[in-house]
């Protein structure tokens, strides 16, 4: 049965298929076409067996469709089939270009809806025990894109490095050396850092250290994108960082011991 042309931009959450909202699931069940991104959990497509599933994901330098082409696909399928769901990782309005797609659909006369998702910037750190705010430690947090539309590191990173707030950087792995340089410039060499790759999924990997050591940690653990960088004293709340620090102390004691090798 055909229904009226409509676009729903839906947040799929951070990766764990159970971290999607009930409203998002109900919206998927009503879809005629699902245009989905690279970072969504494919298990979620099982909630829309009645719909056609079309991959339109974009990863670094590997775009199946340009954003303009995705906008055109949305309108095309909405006019032909009815309800189109645009399924995006995390929350579609946090560096997800969701508002651009909504505005384009509206300009073409489509009915639109937004279903918020659990953003990875909060859920991924929380999943490994890092609170972005904590009484007496961090009163606020920044969420910054690591790569701007000009392919540069956001200028906000420099401002954030001068604050006492927690700093969460998305899409920043390629800019990690530059991030380290900025925080080091402002005397933050000993600030804790956690990097979480594929957060909340079965493929999750993480590494912990300080600004001065995190590049070595990334190399040793072979961490790559997609990953979230969390910088700030709250990272100490993770049991994994505590273990790293304890090991470092033990190694230092052995090296400096008169009986050490």
- Residue-wise pLDDT tens digits, 84-139: 999 999 999 999 999 999 999 999 999 999 999 999 999 999 999 999 999 999 99
**Catalytic site includes residue 58:** yes
pLDDT value at 169 more than 80: yes
CB 8 within 8 A of CB 28: no
pLDDT of res. 3:
75
The per-residue pLDDT for range 171-193, each reduced to its tens digit, is 999 999 999 999 999 999 999 99
Domain with 33, as residue range(s), is 6-115
Helix locations, the chain, DSSP H: 22-29, 67-81, 98-107, 120-127, 156-161, 176-185, 214-221, 239-256
pLDDT of res. 104:
98
pLDDT of res. 226:
95
The per-residue pLDDT for range 68-96, each reduced to its tens digit, is 999 999 999 999 999 999 999 999 999 99
**Catalytic site includes residue 152:** no
Which of 73, 99, 115 terminates a domain? The answer is 115
Whether 65 and 136 map to the same domain: the answer is no
Whether 96 and 128 map to the same domain: the answer is no
Closest-CA residue to 206 (of 134, 141, 127): 127
Mean pLDDT for the chain overall? 92
Q: Tell me the two tokens of residue 223.
A: 């961490």
Whether 142 and 203 map to the same domain: the answer is yes
What CATH number corresponds to the domain at position 111?
Answer: 3.40.1010.10
Choice among 6, 16, 88, 171 that is catalytic: 171
pLDDT of res. 238:
85
pLDDT value at 258 more than 60: no
With left for phi above 0 and alpha for psi between -120 and 50, is residue 222 left, alpha or beta?
left
Provide CB contacts within 8 A for 122, sequence distance 6+.
Answer: 132
Domain-located, residue 257? no
Whether 125 and 240 map to the same domain: the answer is yes
Weakest-pLDDT range from 151-160, 239-248, 249-258:
249-258
Pairing of strands 33-36, 52-55: parallel
Domain-located, residue 261? no
Whether 126 and 74 map to the same domain: the answer is no
pLDDT of res. 203:
95
Whether 83 and 51 map to the same domain: the answer is yes
Percent of the chain with pLDDT over 70: 90
Residue that the structure tokens 């199946």 belong to:
64
Half-sphere exposure of 174 (CA within 13 A, CB side): 13
Whether 109 and 166 map to the same domain: the answer is no
**Catalytic site includes residue 171:** yes
Choice among 58, 108, 205, 221 that is catalytic: 58
Residue 187 φ then ψ, to 5°: 75, 25
pLDDT of res. 31:
98
With bands split at pLDDT 50, 70 and 90, how would you rate the model's confidence at 240? confident
Domain-located, residue 252? no
Whether 79 and 126 map to the same domain: the answer is no
Whether 106 and 16 map to the same domain: the answer is yes
CB 218 within 8 A of CB 176: yes
Choice among 6, 16, 32, 37 that is catalytic: 37
Average pLDDT (24-32) is 98
Residue 141 φ then ψ, to 5°: -145, 150
Domain-located, residue 33? yes
Whether 75 and 168 map to the same domain: the answer is no
Q: What pTM, to 2 d.p., does this model score?
A: 0.90
What CATH number corresponds to the domain at position 212?
Answer: 3.30.950.10
Which of 115, 144, 179 terminates a domain? The answer is 115
Find out whether the peptide bond into 222 is cis, omega within 30 degrees of 0. Answer: no
Closest-CA residue to 169 (of 222, 119, 121, 238): 121
Domain-located, residue 256? no
Whether 202 and 141 map to the same domain: the answer is yes
With bands split at pLDDT 50, 70 and 90, how would you rate the model's confidence at 247? low
Whether 59 and 176 map to the same domain: the answer is no
Total structural domains in the chain? 2
């Amino acid at each position: 049965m055909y229904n009226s042309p409509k676009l729903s931009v839906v947040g799929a959450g951070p990766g764990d298929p159970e971290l999607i909202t009930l409203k998002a699931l109900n919206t998927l069940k009503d879809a005629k076409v699902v245009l989905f991104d690279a970072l969504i959990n494919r298990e979620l497509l099982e909630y829309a067996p009645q719909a056609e599933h079309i991959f339109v994901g974009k990863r670094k330098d590997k775009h199946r469709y340009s954003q303009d082409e995705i906008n055109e696909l949305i309108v095309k399928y909405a006019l032909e089939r009815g309800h189109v769901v645009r399924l995006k990782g995390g929350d579609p309005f946090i560096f997800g270009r969701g508002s651009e797609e909504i505005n384009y659909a509206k300009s073409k006369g489509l009915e639109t809806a937004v279903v918020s998702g659990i953003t990875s910037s909060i859920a991924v750190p929380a999943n490994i025990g890092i609170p972005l705010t904590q009484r007496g430690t961090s009163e606020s947090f920044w969420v910054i894109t690591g790569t701007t539309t000009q392919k540069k590191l956001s200028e906000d990173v420099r401002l954030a490095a001068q604050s006492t707030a927690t700093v969460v950087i998305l899409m920043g792995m390629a800019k990690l050396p530059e991030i380290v340089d900025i925080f080091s410039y402002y005397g933050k060499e000993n600030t804790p850092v956690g990097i979480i790759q594929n957060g909340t999924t079965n493929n999750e990997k993480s590494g912990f250290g300080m600004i001065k050591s995190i590049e070595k940690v990334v190399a040793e653990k072979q961490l790559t994108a997609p990953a979230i960088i969390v910088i700030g004293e709250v990272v100490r709340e993770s049991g994994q960082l505590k273990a790293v620090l304890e090991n470092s102390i033990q190694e230092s004691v052995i090296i400096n011991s008169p009986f050490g090798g």
